Amino acid sequence: MRLLKLRRNHYGYVFITPFIIAFLVFGLYPIYNTFALSFTNTTLMNASSAEFVGLENFKRLFADDFFMKGITNTWLLWLLNFTPQIGIALLLSAWFTNARLKIKAVGLWRALFYLPNLLMPATIAALFFSLFQFYGPANQAIVQLGFVDEAVHFLQNVSVARILVIFIQWWMWFGQTVIIIMAGIAAIPVHLYEAAMVDGATGPQMFRRITLPLLKPILIYVFVTSLVGGMQMFDIPFLLTDQRGGPSSSIMTNNILMYMKFSSSKGHIGAASSVGVLVFIMTTICALGIFYVLRERRAPTQRRQEEKVLDPVQAQMAKLKAQE
């Protein structure tokens, strides 16, 4: 009987084999290959005569203002869209789940706010390009309404280009963040709120003292996945303007720089790989670091975790009462 069970558990290996093979062949090896290429001067032309050049590619990157600009741009564009995204999402989630406010048709609002996330980023970039080009509807509107006398070259302006990328990224992602945060709120035991209400806590108080601390794991998840996505931002900034991250490289992200090196006349895939490698290391360290440092170890039982949380909440409530 024991032998039978053992033999059966072997199927575990059989069933995960396709995944492992596909991961090794299409996931791990390309990562290794990218690292290996980054130490060579390989181009698309000299595939057979490429040479090992050590850290030459990396030295050149660090000496190149373009690379630092790409990194700075990417962090800037990500941070400035993530901050309002999480802010608005928390606000909406708090309102949508507030029993006293009783907002109507929550499901519908949520579904509509999420919609942009499903649409093709290439199309969205092209759409905003059309809306904001010189003869586009945005200019028509502001001229017709008399805000300006002459149409504006929106997409040639550094600030406007950045604001548009930030807006589009925010626009595409805040709805999804609302859904995830609301799911996190729904998982918080109701009796915590009931107890707080009996103690006379207000909505904002409950949000700060109960909802936020218990949402921490979810917020970390949103933060880290958004960071990983943000560091690889490509479609929107690439297709919104001149496919080089212009004007003045103001929206040139890491991936755009990598692509530009790849698609240069000779196809410097060695140099392009070194961009990929550095950003890969930076992103992985940040993502895994944040994930494992900030993540609370899950308590062995839900019960124990609730008790642990309940105590500080009650302590806070007592403190608030004492202050009144």
Partner 1 sequence: MMIRTSGQPSKLGLHLTRTFIYVLLVILLLMTIVPIWMLIVNATRSTTEIQQGISFWPSTHLVENYRFLGSRGINLFKGFSNSMYVSITTTLITVYFSFLTAYALVVYEFKGKKFFNNFIIVLVLIPAQLSIIGFYQYMSRLGLTDNYASLILPTIANAAGVFFGKQYFESMLIQDLIDAARIDGAGELGIFHKIMMPLAIPGAATFGIFAFVFAWNNFFNAFILISSFDKYTLPMLVQTLRGDVYRTEYGAIYVGLAVSIVPILIVYALFSRYIVSGIAMGAVRE
- Residue placing its CB nearer to partner 1 in the complex, 33 or 83: 33
In the bound complex, what is the minimum distance in angstroms from residue 293's beta carbon to partner 1? Answer: 13
- Residue placing its CB nearer to partner 1 in the complex, 66 or 114: 114
Q: Is residue 153 a contact partner of residue 134, using CB atoms and an 8 Å limit? A: yes
Q: Is residue 216 a contact partner of residue 204, using CB atoms and an 8 Å limit? A: no
In the bound complex, what is the minimum distance in angstroms from residue 54's beta carbon to partner 1? Answer: 18
In the bound complex, what is the minimum distance in angstroms from residue 248's beta carbon to partner 1? Answer: 20
In the bound complex, what is the minimum distance in angstroms from residue 311's beta carbon to partner 1? Answer: 22
User: Dihedral through CA 301, CA 303, CA 304, CA 310, nearest 10?
Assistant: 150
- Residue placing its CB nearer to partner 1 in the complex, 122 or 163: 122
In the bound complex, what is the minimum distance in angstroms from residue 45's beta carbon to partner 1? Answer: 13
In the bound complex, what is the minimum distance in angstroms from residue 88's beta carbon to partner 1? Answer: 8
- Residue placing its CB nearer to partner 1 in the complex, 135 or 147: 135
* Tokens matching residue 210: 């109960």
Chain centroid, CA 46 distance in Å: 37
- Residue placing its CB nearer to partner 1 in the complex, 192 or 231: 231
In the bound complex, what is the minimum distance in angstroms from residue 159's beta carbon to partner 1? Answer: 20
In the bound complex, what is the minimum distance in angstroms from residue 257's beta carbon to partner 1? Answer: 12
- Residue placing its CB nearer to partner 1 in the complex, 186 or 315: 186
- Residue placing its CB nearer to partner 1 in the complex, 72 or 140: 140
Q: Is residue 57 a contact partner of residue 76, using CB atoms and an 8 Å limit? A: no
Q: State residue 4 phi and psi, 5-degree precision.
A: -60, -45
Q: Is residue 69 a contact partner of residue 248, using CB atoms and an 8 Å limit? A: no
